[in-house]
Every structure is written in structure tokens, then in C-alpha cells.
């Protein structure tokens, strides 16, 4: 049995709801395929997908999140040209916006490994190795998800947030990796429900503008190595 193939989708800037619908379509196709295999005893495995995109300003709340961690009201949301969604992913509240690399893996983990915690650690490791290629030391923070700079110090700052959903070992949602992000938008929330740590971006750490197209191929190299898959461009 060869390496799993993963189809890469490059959606550029896309409305959050449209991207969520896009994920749901791919996710539901995989679930349906697995049900058919179970019922028929055979057939091709579900396709795996990796969706790359950016979103206009949006705040999203995980299913176990606290609505009070959004610190602005509807009027202020409109003033900031931002939207708000309650989602079906794990985690608390986060921000997505221009300059943030959002990656949604829709993986059938039965083609990789059936361990959601390992899956999360592999996503983190892919970001950590990407940061290393830019000369930045990314790390995990004890008891918290995501990727951090100088964790467990007074200067701890988060550079990549994570929140996922899994059903029948098929994943959706994923990561928000701050590249050239306007970090002032994080002032309007308690990011991921954590009040005593700050956020950062690759541009802020490097003190230069970083183009999204600089980062995507580096991240793809590391996530494909970490999960040991063959990336293929998705063609409609």
C-alpha cells in the first residue's frame, strides 16, 4: 500500500461561511464513502483534502467556547467590518483575517493513524518546522494547543491557533497561522479563552513583510513529510 494522496485546494480569500460549506461538502463526501464501504465491504477509500485560504475579518467560537470572550457588540463588529460565527469545531474563540494562513485538512485518519491527539501534535509539528525554516523557534505550551513563541515565560505569545472536528475518523476545521495578520483584531477577544498571553505573527517576529506564497509551499513540504502523504493539486 502506497502513501495516501492529498488533494490541495487553493481558495485564496474566501468568506468564512462559503469556506465552511466547502469543507462540509468534502467532509460529508468522505463520511458517505466510508458508510458505503462499510455496507458493501469494499470500494475506493475516501479522498483526502487540504484546503488553503484566507478569510475576511471574522471571529469564530468553538462549540465549548464562551460567548463572553467576544469583547465587542454587534454594532462594533459592523464598524470593524467583521462577522461572528458559532462553529462545530473544538476550542474557544479565535480570529481569522487577511494575512492569516488558514489550513483545513479533511483527512480520513484511518489512512494515516486513528489518534486525534497525535493528529493535533502532527499539525503543530508541521507549523514548528515551518517556523524553523524562517529562523523562528516555535514550541508547544504545556497543557495548551497551538504553536507558541517563548512558551512558559512572561513573553509567551501564540502564532498559530488550532481547532478541529472529527467524525468517523474524518477531520475538518484546522489551523490559523498568523503571517501578516493585523494583530489589533485580537484585542476584541480573549483569544482561545486565554487571557494572560499575547499573540504574534511571522512578520512581527521577523520584522519584515512576509508573503503568504513564501509560507504555503514550506508548510506543505512539512505537513506532507509529517503525515507521509503525496500532495496533488485539486482540479475541478
Domains detected in the chain: 5-233 (3.30.930.10)
Distance in angstroms (rounded) separating the CA atoms of residues 205 and 149: 9
Cβ–Cβ < 8 Å for 222, 126: yes
Distance in angstroms (rounded) separating the CA atoms of residues 161 and 50: 17
Distances (CA, A) of 139 to 31, 73, 196, 204: 33, 34, 18, 17
What is the grid cell recorded at 231? 500532495
Strand partners, 6: 48, 231
Distances (CA, A) of 134 to 138, 157, 202: 10, 17, 9
Distances (CA, A) of 108 to 24, 138, 206: 14, 27, 35
pLDDT recorded at residue 117? 96
What is the grid cell recorded at 190? 480573549
Distance in angstroms (rounded) separating the CA atoms of residues 136 and 9: 27
pLDDT recorded at residue 1? 61
Angle at CA of residue 118, ends 70 and 97, nearest 5° = 30
Of the candidates 8, 53, 160, 192, the residue annotated as catalytic is 192
CB-based burial, 92-120: b 16+ in 10 Å, e otherwise: bbbbbbebbbbbbbbbbbebbeeeeeebb
Cβ–Cβ < 8 Å for 125, 118: no
- Measured in whole angstroms, the distance separating CA 157 from the mean position of its chain's CA atoms is 17
pLDDT tens for each residue of the chain, 236 residues long: 689 999 999 999 999 999 999 999 999 999 999 999 999 888 889 999 999 999 999 999 998 889 899 999 999 999 999 999 999 998 889 999 999 999 999 999 999 999 999 999 999 999 999 999 999 999 999 889 999 999 989 999 999 999 999 999 999 999 999 999 999 999 998 876 666 679 999 999 999 999 999 999 999 999 999 999 999 998 75
Strand partners, 59: 84, 95
Is 8 catalytic? The answer is no
- 222 φ, ψ to 5°? -80, -40
pTM for the model: 0.95
Amino acid at each position: 500500500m502506497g502513501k495516501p494522496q492529498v488533494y490541495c485546494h487553493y481558495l485564496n480569500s474566501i468568506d468564512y461561511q462559503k469556506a465552511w460549506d466547502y469543507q462540509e461538502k468534502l467532509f460529508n463526501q468522505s463520511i458517505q464513502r466510508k458508510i458505503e464501504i462499510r455496507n458493501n465491504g469494499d470500494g475506493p477509500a475516501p479522498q483526502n483534502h487540504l484546503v488553503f485560504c484566507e478569510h475576511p475579518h471574522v471571529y469564530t467560537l468553538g462549540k465549548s467556547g464562551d460567548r463572553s470572550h467576544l469583547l465587542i457588540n454587534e454594532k462594533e463588529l459592523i464598524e470593524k467590518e467583521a462577522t461572528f460565527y458559532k462553529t462545530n469545531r473544538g476550542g474557544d474563540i479565535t480570529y481569522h483575517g487577511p494575512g492569516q494562513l488558514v489550513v483545513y485538512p479533511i483527512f480520513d485518519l484511518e489512512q494515516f493513524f486513528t489518534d486525534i491527539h497525535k493528529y493535533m501534535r502532527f499539525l503543530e509539528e508541521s507549523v514548528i518546522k515551518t517556523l524553523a525554516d524562517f529562523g523562528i523557534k516555535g514550541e508547544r505550551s504545556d497543557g495548551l494547543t497551538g504553536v507558541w513563541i517563548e512558551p512558559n515565560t512572561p513573553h509567551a505569545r501564540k502564532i498559530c491557533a488550532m481547532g478541529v472536528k472529527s467524525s468517523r475518523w474524518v477531520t475538518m476545521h484546522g489551523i490559523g497561522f498568523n503571517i501578516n495578520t493585523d494583530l489589533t483584531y485580537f484585542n476584541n477577544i480573549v483569544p482561545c479563552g486565554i487571557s494572560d498571553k499575547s499573540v504574534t505573527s511571522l512578520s512581527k517576529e521577523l520584522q519584515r513583510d512576509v508573503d503568504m506564497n513564501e509560507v504555503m509551499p514550506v508548510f506543505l513540504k512539512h505537513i506532507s513529510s509529517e503525515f507521509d502523504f503525496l500532495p496533488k493539486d485539486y482540479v475541478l
